[in-house]
Every structure is written in C-alpha cells, then in structure tokens.
A and B are shown apart, each in its own frame.
Chain A
Amino acid sequence: MHYSVCVNTHACTGKTSSSGGVGNSFFRYLGHQQQAGNGCNHQGLNQNHQPQPADGPETQALPMPIPDPPIQYTKLFINNEWHESGSGRKIPVYNPATGKLLCEVEEADSEDVDKAVRSARAAFQMGSPWRSMDASDRGQLLNRLADLVERDRLLLATLEALDSGKVFLMAYFVDLVATIKTLRYYGGWADKIHGKTIPVDGDYFTYTRHEPIGVCGQIIPWNFPVMMFAWKIAPALCCGNTVVIKPAEQTPLSALHMAALIKEAGFPPGVVNVVPGYGQTAGCAISHHMDIDKVAFTGSTAVGKLIQKAAGDSNLKRVTLELGGKNPNIVFADCDLQYAVEQAHSGLFFNQGQCCLAGSRVFVEEPIYQEFVCRSVEKARSKVLGNPLQPGVDQGPQIDQKQFDKIMELIESGKREGATLECGGSAWGQQGLFIQPTVFSNVTDDMRIAKEEIFGPVQQIMCFRSIHEVIQRANATHYGLAAGVFTSDIDKALTVSSALQAGMVWVNCYNAMSVQCPFGGFKMSGNGRELGEYALQEYTEVKAVTIKISQKNS
C-alpha cells in the first residue's frame, strides 16, 4: 500500500525511473500476482534504486481501462438486496474530468439509514448465521471477497478513475491492490483475535472474550473510495460486527460494486449495508442513531467534531476518527537530495494532492534550500495533466467544484500573503476541474497555506536552520497525522521521529503505508487507529468473565 507512486507512473509508462522506491515494489507485486511466481518477483521490495527485473511489468502490456464500463449498481444495498430510497431522491454522479453526468444513484436519507440499521441489527442477533459463524469462516469470506475484487479489478479501477478523477493506473496499481491486501490481511486476523485468561486474586477463574461491538456506522470520503471502503469494513467484519456504511456522495460507484461482491462472496444478509447519501442527511442520521453502537468516520476535522458531538448527544456510541493533516516533511542537508525531492514531490502531489497524509509543509534545511526548491519546481513542471484514463497522465482533476474553488482560493491567499509562487497557480485545460501543479517557496509558518489543509496540488516549501527549531515548528499545529524526515544521520532520525507529534513518521520515505502498519492521528487529526492489529481494538468490546472455582492453583 505504498503510495510513492509518481515513480510508478513512470514505470507504467515505460519511462526510466531513477528511483525504484516503494512504489515500484507495489507495481511489481501486482504485476506478478496472477502468475505462479517463483518468489523472485519480490527482489527489490522496499529497496530503493533497485533495477527492475528483466521480466518486470514494463515489458508487459499495461492494463487499459474498460471503455464505457457498465454501471450496474445504483441503488441502496440493504439486507443483501437493492432498494430505492424512501424519498425517491437521487444523487447525480459526475465525471470530474469532463463535468459530465455519469449516472444517478439512489440517495439515502434517515429513513433508509433506519432500515439499514434494522437489518444490521437483525444480522447481529444472538444465534444469527453471522454471530454463530466460526471466526475462521468470517476470515474465509473476507478472503473470498478479496478474490472477487481481484477478479473485477479492472472494472473497479475504471469506475474509480471515472468517478473520482484519479489516474486509472494509480487506481489499478495502488487503490485496488491496497483494497485486496486489506481484505486478505483482515481475513487472516479473524480467528487470531485472542482473549486472555487472567490470574486474578482469589479463587476465581477469569477470562476475556473479545466480542464485536455490534452495528457499526461507517462514513467514508471520496479521495480513496474503494480503499477506504476496505479499510473500514475489513476490520469491522473480521471482528464480527455488522455495518452500515455511507460512501461519499461524489464517489458511490465502487462502493456499490463492492456491495454486489459482498453478496456474491456469501456474507449473510444485513451484515453489510451500503447507503450512499449526503453528510448532512444520511451521515448525520448515522452519527445520531440510537441503535448504532459505533461510528467510524474519515474526512475533515470540521465534520469529525460534529460526529463526536453527535455521539455525545445520542447514545455515547464509540467514535473513531481519521481527520485532516498539515503534515511536516523535514529534509536535512545530509540527505540524498534528489531522492528527497522526489519523495517530497510524490508526498504532496499524489492523488492530486487529495490526501490527508499529504506532506504539505516541506521544511528544508538552509544549506540545500535553494537547490531543493529548484529541483522541486522542475519536478512539478514535468507533471503531465490530462484525462486520468489515458496512459502517461500523472495528474487528474480535483474531485468537485467546491474543492477546486477552495484550492484556488488558498493559492490566492498564498500569493497575497507573500509566498513566492514558483510554478503553477492556475486552473488547467478547457474543461474539468484541473489545477496546475503549484509550488510555493519562502513560505512562513503564519501563512494560511502553511496552516490550513489545502487538499490539492499545492506544495509549500519552508526553510529551517536547526533541528530543535524544526521540531518545534513542525509540531506547532492542531494536526498530528503524519510526518517525514530525510537524513542519513541516525541520531537526527531518531530524535526527530521521537519528537514529532504524529501518528506516522516516515524516515527516508514518505507515504510508505502498509496494511500491517497502524494509521491514525495525534491531536485533531483523529482518534483511534486503522489498519494493523491496532485497528481490531476499535471494533471489539472486551468482556471479562469471572467464574468462582472451589480452589485456585497456579
């Protein structure tokens, strides 16, 4: 699930790339997954500057998106059936690259959420097929779902690119791989979530059961629609919960296709319910619902606060939040400069800059500052914008007009507040919501572009002099999601990584994510962790059972 994918793009398009990087590993992995490999396809995994093996993917035909893919699923998925919305209203779904309407999808409102919660609750009843199923079978269902996603990978990647505007090859090689790996990973956990037996004082025998929480509401964003879907449902289902999930109104298509696969895989009715809708209606209904036991939300910090309040106002449902970030990426003068430039570039521009993890405050040590800016600008200028379905394109459109306007407004503020616009700064193309890759230098910490999450292709590069200064500046934010540090000095690496207030710290890499590794934020970047073993805690209640015994023995 490594995201360092600008590299990938080059590999995809057959260009030579000087840094194989984690992105390559990703690409390579997938390229070979279907083969009865000899294991050798993993040479170079996580190794930088590793040449591609002779049978590498660049010698194979690249996948092409399905032309005019059929959009089969546009209704609400409740109890393993397709439903029209109670209100009869529909959501128009657009292609952000063209502004054209793709289709209309049923719009869930509180009435539909109620229906979904009822079916999720029924599926969670004691003695239900889902509750009485072996944990290993839950795991096997998730494995099967992974197999189905693998089968439909091309279609899902096409839908994802059409619906979200992300580059098709990125969708194919990053989002879909991450989705498949997440489902498999949690498939493996299902029968490994161990309770404990505990040596309590007295003549008692105590053990813990890790039980599912119950009905989980899940609200996911539009930047990685299918991957976020997997991140949310996989741990929830592996722990035995049932789910009512609301995909973003901008990007419901891949989630609805996933719903069909969930049914095909054999999940019992009501275990997963998918209700596309708007935040203020369907999302609000989930977070306020009295019969939802837990809500998980990924999105903006502003909405995260609303979710937390709604839980307080209603039934004190458990809340996990993955919110915004303004992530520092700290580059010391002793680093490998070109590599750091490339990682910082992909750390910001990946996915049109629409990542909560985006390294949007690049702190560069003074001796290399000018050179770093110069090379970063060159890199940004080399980016190819265009139709995300076309090969060779690095950057697609932003998701919607609202985001587009917000990004443009922040670019203006940067200019106004005195940052140096090194390149970009304007809209691009005749149609669609494209923004030129933009680099600001001479950014100071008090500027809006240094404080607010832009969520677009706009890179801020700041200058620093000392390690203590940069630690302090990096931490001077409400956010605490991720951070990067580039240095060849082990002491600096350990000092900075310990001092940064962030849920993920990458040393000499950026966006090096993996399903095994927990993800989440300090401070106002969130609450709880997704991925890894840690995520299981967010979807389990611990029950301590104590039994009186006649005589305790060790």
Chain B
Amino acid sequence: MLRNDATEGGGRVAQLAVALAASGRCQCPLVCKKNKMIRTVLSRTFPRLNRLSVCHYSAVAIPTPSTQPDVHYNKLFINNQWQDAASGKTFPTINPATGEVICQIAEADEADVDKAVKVARDAFRLGSPWRRMDASHRGLLLYRLADAIERDAAYLAELETLDNGKPYAVSYTVDLPNVVKCFRYYAGWADKWEGKTIPIDGDYFCYTRHEPIGVCGQIIPWNFPLLMQAWKLGPALATGNTVVMKVAEQTPLTALYVASLIKEVGFPEGVVNILAGMGPSAGAAIARHMDVDKVAFTGSTEVGHLIQQASGSSNLKKVTLELGGKSPNIILSDANMEDAVEQSHFALFFNQGQCCCAGSRTYVQADIYDEFVERSVERAKRRVVGNPFDLKTEQGPQVDQEQFNKILGYISSGKREGAKLMCGGGVAADRGYFIQPTVFGDVEDNMTIAREEIFGPVMQILKFKTLEEVVTRANDTKYGLAAAVFTKDIDKANYVSNGLRAGTIWINCYDVFGAQAPFGGYKASGNGRELGEYGLDNYTEIKTVTIKVPQKNS
C-alpha cells in the first residue's frame, strides 16, 4: 500500500515489507515502522510514502520487543482442546540465537495424527456445524482470526523471532502483516468461490458445485512459520475443508498460539487441528493416512518426493507441493545498477537466505559483471548480523545446527570447486547458528553451489553474455520456482520472462508477494499453486450435477 519509489536502491527490505506487507489496519503502522527502521539501518533515501495509507497516515514505532515472551501453549491442539501426546513424548524447541532450550513441546506421532484425523472427519460430516455454515460466515471467522492475530501481532512477532531467529523488525513488519493480509484475502473468497451452470447438449440442466475436498493434511516448514500457516489455512478454510496441520519441529510456538486464536474466534471443534511433530513420524503418518483426503506440503524437494510416494501407496490423496528452488536472477547490462545490486542482495539474503525462492543464481551480463560483484560484496559486508531482537539487525541465526552445518558444507564445496570467495564464508558468532553473509564470484554452472539449494546467506554470482545463453542456462535446473530479470528494455523483459521456466517471474523487482498473486513451481519445485484465486483450486472438488429436464430452452 505504501510503496517506495523503488528506483533508489535504498529500501530493498522496505520494498519487501511493503510488497509483501499490507493488511489493512495492521499493515500501515507496520510499514511505517518498517520504513523507519530502514532509515535507521541503511541511512538511505527514505522511501517516499506517496500513497494513501488506510491507517490515517499514522507512523508508530516498532514496539520494543520482549526478548523472553511467555510461552502459553506447548501441547497438541485437537478438537479445540489441548492434549498431551498419546506417547507422552515431548521434544525441546531451541532458540537458534543462543542454542538454548526454550521449552518442551508435546510430540505428535501416528496415534495423535489418527486422533486428529478422526475429529477432523467428524467436523466434516454432513450436517455438522462447519458443513452447514454459510460460506460468508466461514469468511467472517477468518476475518475475526485476522483481527485477533493483528491484536496480538507484537507478541506473535516476538515468539516468531525467539523460535525461528528471524529479526524481530522483520517478523513484525513483514511476516505478521502478511499473515493478517492472507487471512483477510481468503476470508473474502469464502462466499465468492462460484460454480457454474453449463449449457450441455440434450435436455439436461447441468451445474457444478465447488465442494471442499474434506480432511486436509498440511505440513509446513520453519522458515516462515506463521506465514506458511496462513497460506495453508486461508484457502483450506475459506473453501470449507477441515485441517490436520503438522508444524515444523524447529518452530512450533507461533502456530500453537494461533491455534488458541482459532478457538477464540469461534471455529467449531475439529475444524483445525495443529500438531507439532517430526517429519518421519507425524508427517509420514499424515502423508500415508487412509482417511486424509488431501495433503499439502511445503519444504524440500527431497521430502516432496516422499509425500507424493506416500499418496500413491495409500489412498491417492490429492497432493500439492511447494518445494525447493535454485532461482535465477538475471541482471542485464542496461539495468539500474544500484537498484539491481540492492534487490539482488535482498533476493538472496532475506530471511537469512532461508527462502525457497531465494535468488541464488545471480546471472550478471559480462560488461557490468565486475562492478556488480564489487558492489554486491560491499553491500554484503555492510549487512548487520546479530541479536535478532535488536532492531538494527538485518540477519539473525540460521534455524538449527543441521542447517548451519549444511550451509558451511556448501561454502567449503564452493571454495573447493574453484569459485572465488569474495567475502564471508565463516561462522559469525561464538554461539547460536550465525553465518557470515557470503558472496561467491566466478561461479560456474556445474559447481555444487550453482546447482543445489543452499538455503543460507550464500550468494552465487555468475557471468553471461547473451540473452539466449542466459535463458538456456537459467532453465538448466530441475527446479522452476521463481526467477527475475532486471532491464529497462521492454522487449528483453518480455523475452526473458516468457522464456524462463518458473512459476513466478519478477521484472525489476524481487520477492514481491501478494496474497492475490499465485505462487508455486514448475518442474521439481512443486505441484499446484498457493495464494490468489488459483490457491482455491487445490482445496476444491468439483461436482457436476446433471438433471433431466422435460425440455431444454436457451
């Protein structure tokens, strides 16, 4: 809603905050605050707030976060009640900034998944309160959920930062507003998801009903815990499904708090069930469950294969997948250099590099390559890494030890395989999972760091000469999630954006998300689309009803 001018590199993060951000009431203060933070952090041109804000132009500072927010919920949420795991097992959730245990969480496995599926099935039976509810009232419940999240936004942002390690300024100004916005967006769809009447041949009357699929299993990752929850719940609930959601074991806290809000705003029992647990146990139980009608998964391509296999070997449940990426970001020599550098930096380093759509192959045209690398290195060196609760911090820790080790392994492979380490490459603190912002130059397409998803703050910059060449190279990957091109030339922009095999293309921008715009992958980056109207398809069964009539008339 507020959009910076975008030509001055300055508000790269601000642009995301803005592009991603925005949900009515909450968004404006947040965006305003975000811009304030950006000013502090970058000492750059303050993005001009040239658009009306529905928040009446207010600019409130980001509230000072509590660095030790209370944890209220650590059990399984089944049938609107808090329950211990059937096994009695718990697992620790860790603060990645310190490596310390925050608390113990009830650990779901197959028995708990069964229990959750039973109540979700019961909530979905014909004649249940949920099935008989007006679609507009489903929408109203989602609006109320958005309102409740907005009310508790500061607390939720604290919890998200504590559990995930992302900077609080980002949690508060990017994740939370987008969560609210996503729920509001799908709230609006609930009573607008229309079937058709169809002029079939013969003396028949034919119409379609868009019915919910049924019990949906949803397995979400740790990189945007709240936002992924919203992306999953919004369309599933708007269309009238019931849900058994497994949240990532690294980041269960905010999802469980949202569960309490789901109950508070009045969703009937059993409609949403939220379990924390491990992939191989709880996740697998969902994927192979005979009474789960659909499974939606966001995570690695490797696990995506397992989910699809589990569906095939169980009940052929519908599958949607949002998986990995190795997204090309193509900088043509006529692009605005400063803007392209800033956006490319942001495209990779945002969220500690833990984005499936991270622009992790930055292709730069040969005549500007050296300058681009130099400026990118300079920008990466200025990146503020530290305590995620510090409002000046741009980069927090990676989410856990495993990711931390994996990323350091990739950095070693880059060095070993002959890429030029321009900056970073090491650990950034003596505790927690911090990694220095790292830039590799002279990267070749066959290097491991150019082929595999690193999911960390490691930027690869590659050189190209011609458009045809770069489109071919950009498409030479099993992935197809996102891509970007920076150019002022309308023909080049059209050529490249048409030629790239990716579900999302950004032109002269990166990571611009809106709840309205679909997101998903070509090839091994996924199956189906989330967000937008397209997101509703994944949660709908179409029923064709044909009625014999005495005489057809147009």
Alpha-carbon distance between A136 and B51 when the two chains are bound, in angstroms: 13
Residues of A within 8 A of B130 (CB): 39
Contact A494 B137 (CB under 8 A): no
Q: A42-B129, A494-B205, A494-B547 are in contact. List 19 more A-B contacts (CB 8 A).
A: A25-B134, A33-B140, A38-B269, A39-B129, A39-B141, A42-B134, A43-B132, A129-B51, A132-B50, A134-B1, A134-B51, A139-B184, A140-B23, A140-B184, A189-B188, A494-B550, A498-B549, A516-B135, A551-B495
Alpha-carbon distance between A205 and B271 when the two chains are bound, in angstroms: 44
Which one, B24, B52, B269, B494, contacts A268 given CB within 8 A?
Answer: B52
B551 interface residue (CB < 8 Å to A): yes
Contact B1 A192 (CB under 8 A): no
Which one, A43, A191, A516, contacts B129 given CB within 8 A?
Answer: A43
B181 interface residue (CB < 8 Å to A): yes
Contact B1 A139 (CB under 8 A): no
Binary interface encoding of chain A residues 486-522 relative to chain B, with 1 for a CB under 8 A from any of its CBs, else 0: 0000110011001100000000000000011000000
Contact B266 A266 (CB under 8 A): no
Min distance, Cβ B508 to any Cβ of chain A, angstroms = 16
Alpha-carbon distance between A136 and B185 when the two chains are bound, in angstroms: 8
Residues of A within 8 A of B205 (CB): 494, 498
Contact B23 A550 (CB under 8 A): no
Residues of A within 8 A of B52 (CB): 129-130, 132-133, 137, 268
Which one, B24, B136, B268, contacts A39 given CB within 8 A?
Answer: B268
Min distance, Cβ B258 to any Cβ of chain A, angstroms = 15
Report the contact-size class of chain A (Cβ under 8 Å from the partner): 35 or more
Alpha-carbon distance between A40 and B134 when the two chains are bound, in angstroms: 11
Residues of B within 8 A of A40 (CB): 129, 268
A187 interface residue (CB < 8 Å to B): yes
Alpha-carbon distance between A547 and B264 when the two chains are bound, in angstroms: 51
Min distance, Cβ B263 to any Cβ of chain A, angstroms = 9
Interface residue ranges of B507-538 to A (CB < 8 Å): 514-516, 533
Interface residue ranges of B342-382 to A (CB < 8 Å): none
Residues of B within 8 A of A191 (CB): 185, 188, 514-516
A549 and B494 in contact, given A132-B51, A137-B1, A498-B553 (Cβ under 8 angstroms): yes
11 contacts between A and B (CB under 8 A): A29-B134, A38-B266, A42-B132, A45-B133, A191-B185, A266-B54, A494-B549, A498-B205, A515-B191, A549-B494, A549-B495
B143 interface residue (CB < 8 Å to A): yes
Contact B264 A36 (CB under 8 A): yes
The 7 A-B residue pairs with the shortest CB-CB distance in the complex, in nearest-first order: A188-B188, A140-B24, A129-B52, A39-B268, A37-B266, A134-B1, A39-B129
Alpha-carbon distance between A551 and B191 when the two chains are bound, in angstroms: 41
Residue of A nearest to B139 (CB): A188
Contact B550 A136 (CB under 8 A): no
Residues of B within 8 A of A141 (CB): 24, 54
B192 interface residue (CB < 8 Å to A): yes
A288 interface residue (CB < 8 Å to B): no
Min distance, Cβ B332 to any Cβ of chain A, angstroms = 14
B267 interface residue (CB < 8 Å to A): yes
Which one, A29, A130, A266, A490, contacts B547 given CB within 8 A?
Answer: A490
Contact B140 A516 (CB under 8 A): no
A184 interface residue (CB < 8 Å to B): yes
Binary interface encoding of chain A residues 161-205 relative to chain B, with 1 for a CB under 8 A from any of its CBs, else 0: 000000000000000000001001101111110100000000001
Residues of A within 8 A of B24 (CB): 136-137, 139-141, 143-144
Question: Which residue of A136, A192, A533 has the most chain B CB atoms within 10 A of its CB atom?
Answer: A136
Residues of B within 8 A of A430 (CB): none
Binary interface encoding of chain A residues 456-469 relative to chain B, with 1 for a CB under 8 A from any of its CBs, else 0: 00000000000000
Residues of A within 8 A of B56 (CB): 266
Min distance, Cβ A526 to any Cβ of chain B, angstroms = 21
Residues of B within 8 A of A185 (CB): 136, 191-192
B498 interface residue (CB < 8 Å to A): yes
Binary interface encoding of chain A residues 19-46 relative to chain B, with 1 for a CB under 8 A from any of its CBs, else 0: 0000001000100010111111011110
Which one, B25, B129, B140, contacts A140 given CB within 8 A?
Answer: B25
B479 interface residue (CB < 8 Å to A): no
B92 interface residue (CB < 8 Å to A): no
Alpha-carbon distance between A129 and B51 when the two chains are bound, in angstroms: 6
Residues of A within 8 A of B194 (CB): 533
Contact B51 A187 (CB under 8 A): no
Residues of A within 8 A of B494 (CB): 205, 547, 549-550
Min distance, Cβ B24 to any Cβ of chain A, angstroms = 3
Min distance, Cβ A101 to any Cβ of chain B, angstroms = 38
A553 interface residue (CB < 8 Å to B): yes
B440 interface residue (CB < 8 Å to A): no
Residues of B within 8 A of A (CB): 1, 22-25, 50-54, 56, 129-130, 132-137, 139-141, 143, 181, 184-185, 187-192, 194, 205, 264-269, 271, 490-491, 494-495, 498-499, 514-516, 533, 547, 549-551, 553
Question: Which residue of B266, B267, B514, B553 has the most chain A CB atoms within 10 A of its CB atom?
Answer: B266
Alpha-carbon distance between A185 and B515 when the two chains are bound, in angstroms: 18
Residues of A within 8 A of B189 (CB): 188, 192
Residues of A within 8 A of B (CB): 25, 29, 33, 35-40, 42-45, 47, 129-130, 132-137, 139-141, 143-144, 181, 184-185, 187-192, 194, 205, 266, 268, 490-491, 494-495, 498-499, 515-516, 533, 547, 549-551, 553
Min distance, Cβ A516 to any Cβ of chain B, angstroms = 5
Which one, A39, A130, A134, A189, contacts B192 given CB within 8 A?
Answer: A189
Contact A133 B551 (CB under 8 A): no
Alpha-carbon distance between A503 and B190 when the two chains are bound, in angstroms: 24
A187 and B266 in contact, given A129-B52, A140-B23 (Cβ under 8 angstroms): no
Residues of A within 8 A of B143 (CB): 143, 184
Contact B192 A516 (CB under 8 A): yes
Contact A516 B549 (CB under 8 A): no
Residues of A within 8 A of B264 (CB): 36
Contact A187 B188 (CB under 8 A): yes
Residues of B within 8 A of A189 (CB): 188, 192
Which one, B190, B269, B498, B514, contacts A549 given CB within 8 A?
Answer: B498
Residues of A within 8 A of B139 (CB): 184, 188
Residue of A nearest to B499 (CB): A553
A192 and B491 in contact, given A39-B267, A39-B268, A42-B134 (Cβ under 8 angstroms): no
Contact A192 B188 (CB under 8 A): yes
Min distance, Cβ A40 to any Cβ of chain B, angstroms = 5
Question: Which residue of A134, A205, A266 has the most chain B CB atoms within 10 A of its CB atom?
Answer: A134
Residues of B within 8 A of A495 (CB): 549-551
Which one, B51, B495, B533, contacts A194 given CB within 8 A?
Answer: B533
Min distance, Cβ A38 to any Cβ of chain B, angstroms = 6
Contact A549 B491 (CB under 8 A): yes
Contact A36 B265 (CB under 8 A): yes
Residues of A within 8 A of B551 (CB): 495
Alpha-carbon distance between A533 and B533 when the two chains are bound, in angstroms: 14
Contact A137 B22 (CB under 8 A): yes
A134 and B22 in contact, given A42-B132, A185-B191, A549-B494 (Cβ under 8 angstroms): yes
Residues of A within 8 A of B267 (CB): 39
Residue of A nearest to B265 (CB): A36
Alpha-carbon distance between A495 and B203 when the two chains are bound, in angstroms: 11
Alpha-carbon distance between A536 and B267 when the two chains are bound, in angstroms: 31
Residues of B within 8 A of A547 (CB): 490, 494
Residue of B nearest to A140 (CB): B24
Which one, B191, B268, B515, B516, contacts A38 given CB within 8 A?
Answer: B268
Min distance, Cβ B515 to any Cβ of chain A, angstroms = 8
Min distance, Cβ B461 to any Cβ of chain A, angstroms = 27
Alpha-carbon distance between A25 and B23 when the two chains are bound, in angstroms: 31
Min distance, Cβ A242 to any Cβ of chain B, angstroms = 14
A36 and B132 in contact, given A189-B192, A491-B550 (Cβ under 8 angstroms): no
Residues of B within 8 A of A188 (CB): 139, 187-192
Min distance, Cβ B529 to any Cβ of chain A, angstroms = 14
Residues of B within 8 A of A205 (CB): 494
Contact B133 A516 (CB under 8 A): no
Alpha-carbon distance between A45 and B136 when the two chains are bound, in angstroms: 12
Alpha-carbon distance between A38 and B268 when the two chains are bound, in angstroms: 5
Contact B23 A136 (CB under 8 A): yes
